[in-house]
Amino acid sequence: QVQLVESGGGLVQAGGSLRLSCAAPGRIFSFAAMGWYRQAPGKQRELVAAITRGGSTNYADSVKGRFTISRDNAKNTVYLQMNSLKPEDTASYYCKAEVQRLIYWGQGTQVTVSS
């Protein structure tokens, strides 16, 4: 069983910042494209940001310029720096690892942005 361990969620005021972390087993992380997704109540899970093994990134239009995804290959960890948070960013955030069509998900971490 592959376990992705997320941390860093919480409650923040609009305009504030949070950094999410997701640690994966080294045997997975080294080969994986990593991503952050989010799901708000009553809505579908959506891609927030993704990063390839080589460091190429892509972002949802709604977070461009505010969120930054990065990976530390020495620590087997992917990060999501979230700045200028808005109430509409409120959701459960999930880490995803994809390796040769195998997909692994974290348990999710809650981000709540108050207005």
List, in sequence order, every residue forming a beta bridge with 72; answer none if it has no partner: 77
The pLDDT value recorded for residue 51 is: 98
Taking the C-alpha atoms of residue 108 and residue 102, their distance in angstroms, rounded to an integer, is: 18
Q: What is the predicted pLDDT for the residue at 93?
A: 98
pLDDT tens digits along 76-97: 999 999 999 999 999 999 999 9
pLDDT per 10-residue tile (average), the chain, 115 residues: 91 98 93 97 97 96 98 96 98 96 95 97
pLDDT at 82: 98
Q: What is the pLDDT of residue 1?
A: 77
